[in-house]
Structure 1
Amino acid sequence: MRLHRNLVFAVVDGLDLIFNEGVYASKAVEQILKRDKRWGSRDRGFIAETLYDIVRWKRLYAEIAEVREPFDRSNFFRLFAVWAVLRGIPLPNWKQLEDTPARRIKGRFDELSKIRKYRESIPDWMDELGLESFKEAFWEKEIHALNQPAPVVLRTNTLKTSLPFLRKHLLDEGIATDPIQGYPHALVLKERTNVFTTQAFKDGLFEVQDASSQLVAPMLEVEPGMRVIDACAGAGGKSLHLAALMENKGQLIGLDIYPQKLHELKRRARRNGVHNLETRLIESTKTIKKLHGKADRVLIDVPCTGLGVLRRNPDTKWKLQPSDLDGITETQKQLLTDYSKMVKPGGKMVYATCSILPRENSEQIEEFLKSPEGNSFELEKERHVFAHSSGYDGFYMASLRSK
């Protein structure tokens, strides 16, 4: 493999955006890829995948390269050199990469790989939290799985097509996929590619949605004609799934505190052919009070640490701080208390997170059921999804029925 100067420099610029300017990795990649329209799919793939790789393994690479934050530009080139040497990629004779000690890099890698926090490239506090939450053997398997690049999974939009037809349509566009046993609407790409440029995507035949995330909406057991509320809708991946399960019949209300996310949801809904969705901005507690006791089903997909989706958001390891956890769990508790009031007697709600931590998951539900608001609910079922056993994102979901 031959390294090209403009692509390597683009990677270094992306690292600067992520680590020095605080830009999320996904946004940094998006920003960098807009620079040069002449870049082909292979060039873009190199930039994106290399950036994510270096972000994912930052602690390990920084230890090998003997650099410390805040990183300067020469530090980023040293991180890149470690990445290249460990992949057996010959380094060009550039001044930014001169005197790279390839043998020492490999030796340090072998040495540090014996220590979990370096081998899995995680902060000390996150490793300690994992050991507090799980048995060591379990944590070893889970954090290792969460460091593997995530596959690209699609969800068939059943309002417009079927899985067999979508699979054929994508194959006609040169994209090979496989169905996933146990996930009736999911297709996983055989090779990573940009699916957003396909005609199938433009026609609203699918959404990109991890297989674990596709388990959440069905757990709500919606039916056509129901009134359903997605209380933390965001940009609406699960709202769109609910609309499809409702066959566009009944009323689906997407709530959120961020108007730009609801705007994106409306745009996506149009492409998906969703007609039963109404978005409402939560401007005050009145928005929720008006819906007290009015919903057959409520989805509360709460903000969380995101520790179940580190594979696709590796920069979470570096942006999340241990002090954030108390605030996040308190927010979850408050949302569960407030939003559960929208469920009518006999109705159901599903509480969900993309985290693997018991503090955010089963322990939240246990505490809620003991509270005055939770007294009128009973836990029907819960599901813990772990990356090492499922092969997909870590998730938690609990179904509760109002008595």
Structure 2
Amino acid sequence: MKIYADENMPLVADFFGHLGPVTLFNGRRVSAADLADADVLLVRSVTQVNQALLAENKGLQFVGTATIGMDHIDQAYLAARNISFSSAPGCNAQSVVEYVLSAIWHLAEKYQWHLSSKILGIVGVGHIGQRLAEAAAALNIKVLLCDPPRAAVEPDFNHTDFTELCRQADIISFHTPMVATGPAPSWHLINAASLALLKPGCALINASRGAVFDNQALLQTLKTQPRPVVLDVWEQEPDILHELLPYLDIATAHIAGHSIEGKARGTAMLYQRLCQQLNQAPQRQLSGLLPVPAVEKVQISDNFGLPDVQNLARMLYDVRRDDALFRFHIQREGFDWLRKSYPPRREFSSVQLMGSKIPHWMAQLGFTSQ
């Protein structure tokens, strides 16, 4: 069985190697000829899997994307060819939540916010949005949820219309998939009209899909009406709108979900699905392949409280590091180099908290205890 995988998928040879030879490829540059003899194709969001990419392949059995999003996969075409498909829903949800929390803490420090008096709007309440809502509740931040598809099928879902959310929220974080048409499109949710609805100081955070924000409209508005903005995703990646950079508080290269755990979890989920399809018992487990963290345990005292969480979290991840890397390297090295060269980052769960009175709400943030 010949397995072809994106070179940025961690541990892919460790997981899949016993099933067959693993060949790595550049996700943006891979061609139909490169994949002509593939039996298994493993990709990330930068690769468009469609008829053109698979035109020279006759024997493909399985396609997996180590991502939550699936807008880069032509699922109808795969189904027509009877090619099995799997994504990795929720694999990097915790990583994205930690990115957003770090961004919010940075903005709160920069603009001297009291977060308990702020309203956080969450647009898209799936794996990531739901976890973010739970984390915000642990931090005593009021939350408004906007998810029309969930509201349509869940009578008890506490949905706020997007227009109303724009008027009320002090911070809006986007976690919606890319949906171009239909009753609830997410394409250009942030545009000239929605920007005009926002409170003057409302902060915007996009760690979902680049085209959820009209980048040109955002640029033109920020020139005359500055506001806190955090962008991890951009329209037309990797050819991003560089003119936006001076107007952003935090700018990063689509790495919100790039924790070691988040990326490796995606690989593990696809491995388990392929083993299931092959009727083989998995021989590899994620827990046995993850590297030992630099900090394994942290002792906290009985005095540990909500004001101390930010310092503990920053020990593991500070989004300002990634913003600095982006601003220093983006012109010379480029967007894809930043993603490929992303330094290791561990999730909160990599550290075991030790102590006699660990606050119960730490688990809502993603920490683990003894």
TM-score range, shorter chain: under 0.3
The answer to which structure has the higher helix fraction is 1
Q: When the two structures are superposed, what TM-score results if normalisation uses the length of structure 2?
A: 0.27
Q: When the two structures are superposed, what TM-score results if normalisation uses the length of structure 1?
A: 0.26
